[in-house]
Amino acid sequence: MTKKVDARGFSCPQPVIMTRKAIQAGEFPIEVLVETATSRENVRRAAEKLGCQVEVEEMGDEFKLTIAK
């Protein structure tokens, strides 16, 4: 089951904190939704730092990041 993190509308570091919590919970894959390019970069950097692979998909005004271990 894909774990979903809806971080749309939250400004950083909130999306990063939510993503880190999800990663630490250890259920993969994780789908993170964010709205700004800043959040996209921050979430990607934080997840990669924790040793995860990140795929980014642009969906209209939003970004979907799929995180796998």
Residues that bind another protein (CB under 8 A): 8-14, 16-17, 20, 35-38, 41-42, 45-46, 49, 61
If residue 68 lies in a helix (H) or strand (E), which one and from where to where? strand 62-68
Q: How far is the CB of 51 from another protein (least distance, A)?
A: 14
Nearer to another protein, 36 or 65 (CB): 36
Name the phi and psi angles at 21, rounded to 5: -60, -45
Nearer to another protein, 2 or 24 (CB): 24
Nearer to another protein, 26 or 49 (CB): 49
Render 9-26 in DSSP notation, one character per residue.
TPPTTHHHHHHHHHHHHT
